Amino acid sequence: VSPTQAVALIRTTPLAEANLVLQFEDDFSASDSGWDDSFGKSYTKQYGNNKYHIEITTNNLVVWGLANRNAADFDVEVEATLEGGGEANTYGLIFRYVDPNNYYRFDVSGDGYFLLTKFHDEEWTTLVDWTQSDALNQGQATNVLKISAFGPKITIYANGQELARVSDGDFLQGNFGFFASTFADPHIWVSFDNLKLWGPEQQEIAVIPTITPTSAPTLVKQPSETAANPPEVAPQATATAPLTAEETPSPTASEAEGTPTAVELPTAQIKEAPTAVAPAPLPDFVSREQPLARGAQRLPGKIVFPLYDSARQTYDIYRANTDGSEQELLVMEASQPAMNKSGASIAYRSWKADERGLITRVVGEADHWLFSPFFEAASPAFDPNEQFFVFHSREGGETPAIYRTVGAETEVLRRDGAPIQGEMPALTSDGRMVYKGCLGGGTCGLIVSNLDGAFPMQLTVNADDTAPSISPDNTTVAFMSNKDGVWEIYTIGLDGQNLQRITNDA
C-alpha cells in the first residue's frame, strides 16, 4: 500500500450521531493549507480567491482533492460553485475513500440532478440513481453539499434538504474530499469553499501520511498525527535484448497501433503469460473511471488492442470488455489487430523474428496462416463477408499500395491498370473500400471507392487522416486526424457529409 493510500484504522462500529463536534475545517484562505496545486494537460487544481478550484478541459475525466484525514462516522459539508462548463457535468463529494479503486461518490449536476455511487474493486454500483431535485440550485450557482455517514447509514443533502438515504457497509471509514468530472462535454470549472467535518467527540481523525508532507489545515480538535513512512522503491523492470533499429516496431499515429477494434468475442483460453508494460498511469487524483452519465448505457462486446512494451520494444495484443475490465493477452509480439464479424478469428501484424508479416488464426488456437510474409505489409482487414483480406504493402515499390488475398495468393488492387496507392484499407459489406491515399491533383486524405478502384471520391482533405473504421450500416466512417493540431477521433458520412469531432484531447 502506498503512503497516499494508507488508512489508519479507527473503529468498525459507528459512534453516536448526537453531540458532534467540529473536527476539521478549511476555508482555503491560506494557499499552504495542504491541497496541492497541480497542472496537467487537461486539468488544473489550485488555490485562488480564497477558494480551491478544479478545472477540466477534456471529456470523461474526474479530478479530486482529498483532505488526507481518515474519518469513520461524520457529517461533512462543502460549498461548491459551478463557475463554468457544461451543466450536465458533475461535481460533489468523495468520502470513505480507501484508494483510487474503492470509495463512495456523491454527484450533483448543473442542471439539477444528483447521483450516489460506490466504486468497489474497479466496479461501479449505483446506490441512488440519477434523480432530479428542486433542492439543487441550477446553472452557475453555489450548492451546499453534505453527507452524513454513521456506520452503514449514509444520508445525502443539498442546501439543507435531505435528498436520499441508503445503507451500505462496504466502506466504514476512509479519506474525504471533493471532485469535478466531465462526461460528453469537455469542460467544467468548479470552486470549493468552507469544507467542514463534524464527528463524535471521542472519535480521532487520523492524519493519512503523504509522500510530500504539507502543513496541516486548521484542526479544531487536534489529533495525534503519525509520521509519514518513506515510500518504498518500486522494483525496476528487466528489459530483454532490444531489437535493432531496423527491426524495432515504433508506436506512431500514422500506423494507428493504438486503434481499438470493437467486436463480440467468444471466450478463449490463452496459455501465454502477459508481460506487456502498461502505459504510464494517471496521477492518483485523476481517473477515467466514471459512473455512467445520465441516460448512458455500457457498450456490450469486447475491444481488441495493442499495448507497447517499452522494455521489450515490441507490441502485444490484448482484449478486454469495453470498459477496460477483464483484460487478457491474445498474441505476443504483434500489433494492428483486426477481427472477423463473429470475433472468432483474428488477423494481425506479427513482429516475431521467425514469422514476420501478416497472420490470421482462430482466437486461442496455435495453427495460423501467414498470408503475407513481407515485412512492409501492414494493416490487415477482413472482408465483411469473410471471403478475403485486404492490407497495404510496399512490396511492389517505395509507395504503399492496397493488396488483397486471392485464395492462397495476394494481388495488388488496380485502378485503370495502375496499382491503387494507399494505406489502411477498410471494407464495407456492399463492396466499397475506404483508405488513406491521394487522388489526381495531389489532394490527399481519406478516399472511398469501389474495390476495383472505380468511382473514387475524396472524403477528407487532411493528408494525415488515418485508421478508417466503417460502421456496420455502411453509413459512417470513424477515423483519426490531427487536423486541429492534436490527434482526435472524428466521424464522417460515406457521402462526405456531416464531419464531427468525437473526442477532445484523446
Count CB neighbours of 364 within 10 A: 14
At 423, the amino acid letter reads E
321-341 mean pLDDT: 91
Over pLDDT 90: what percentage of the chain? 66
Q: Which pLDDT belongs to residue 18?
A: 63
CA distance 315 to 251: 9
- Express each pLDDT in 175-196 by its tens digit: 999 999 999 899 999 999 999 9
Cell of 253: 499515429
291-319 mean pLDDT: 92
- 24, pLDDT greater than 80: yes
CA distance 199 to 73: 6
Q: What is the pTM of this model?
A: 0.67
* Residue 243, helix vs strand vs coil: coil
Instruction: Considering only residues 281 and 199, tell me which one the structure prediction assigns the higher pLDDT.
Output: 199
Phi-psi region of 111 (alpha: psi -120 to 50; beta: other; left: phi over 0): alpha
Q: Which pLDDT belongs to residue 91?
A: 98
At 306, the amino acid letter reads P
Q: Which pLDDT belongs to residue 375?
A: 86
Q: Which pLDDT belongs to residue 107?
A: 98
> Within 13 Å of residue 340, how many CA atoms lie on the same side as its CB?
16
Q: Which pLDDT belongs to residue 300?
A: 85
Are the C-beta atoms of 80 and 178 separated by less than 8 Å? yes
Instruction: Considering only residues 259 and 336, tell me which one the structure prediction assigns the higher pLDDT.
Output: 336
Q: Which pLDDT belongs to residue 433?
A: 96
141-165 mean pLDDT: 98
Cell of 484: 486541429
- 328, pLDDT greater than 50: yes
Instruction: Considering only residues 230 and 282, tell me which one the structure prediction assigns the higher pLDDT.
Output: 282
Cell of 193: 469553499
Please provide the average confidence, as pLDDT, over all residues in the chain.
84
- Express each pLDDT in 391-429 by its tens digit: 999 987 789 999 999 998 999 999 989 999 999 999 999
Count CB neighbours of 465 within 10 A: 24
Over pLDDT 70: what percentage of the chain? 82
339-351 mean pLDDT: 93
Count CB neighbours of 64 within 10 A: 24
Are the C-beta atoms of 335 and 348 separated by less than 8 Å? yes
Range 476-489 burial, b when 16+ CB lie within 10 A, else e:
bbbbbbebeeebbb
- 16, pLDDT greater than 80: no
Q: Which domains does the chain have, with CATH numbers?
A: 20-207 (2.60.120.560), 248-290+298-355 (no CATH), 374-506 (2.120.10.30)
- Express each pLDDT in 430-478 by its tens digit: 999 999 999 877 789 999 999 888 999 999 999 999 999 999 899 999 9
CA distance 354 to 374: 12
- Express each pLDDT in 470-502 by its tens digit: 998 999 999 999 998 889 999 999 999 999 988
pLDDT band at residue 17, thresholds of 50, 70 and 90?
low
Q: Which pLDDT belongs to residue 257?
A: 44
- Express each pLDDT in 53-77 by its tens digit: 999 998 899 999 999 999 999 999 9
pLDDT band at residue 2, thresholds of 50, 70 and 90?
very low
Beta bridge partners of 458: 447
Q: Which pLDDT belongs to residue 506?
A: 52
Q: Which pLDDT belongs to residue 211?
A: 53
How many residues are listed for the chain in this entry?
Answer: 506
Q: Which pLDDT belongs to residue 267?
A: 35
Q: Which pLDDT belongs to residue 452?
A: 87
Cell of 300: 456490450
Instruction: Considering only residues 112 and 408, tell me which one the structure prediction assigns the higher pLDDT.
Output: 112
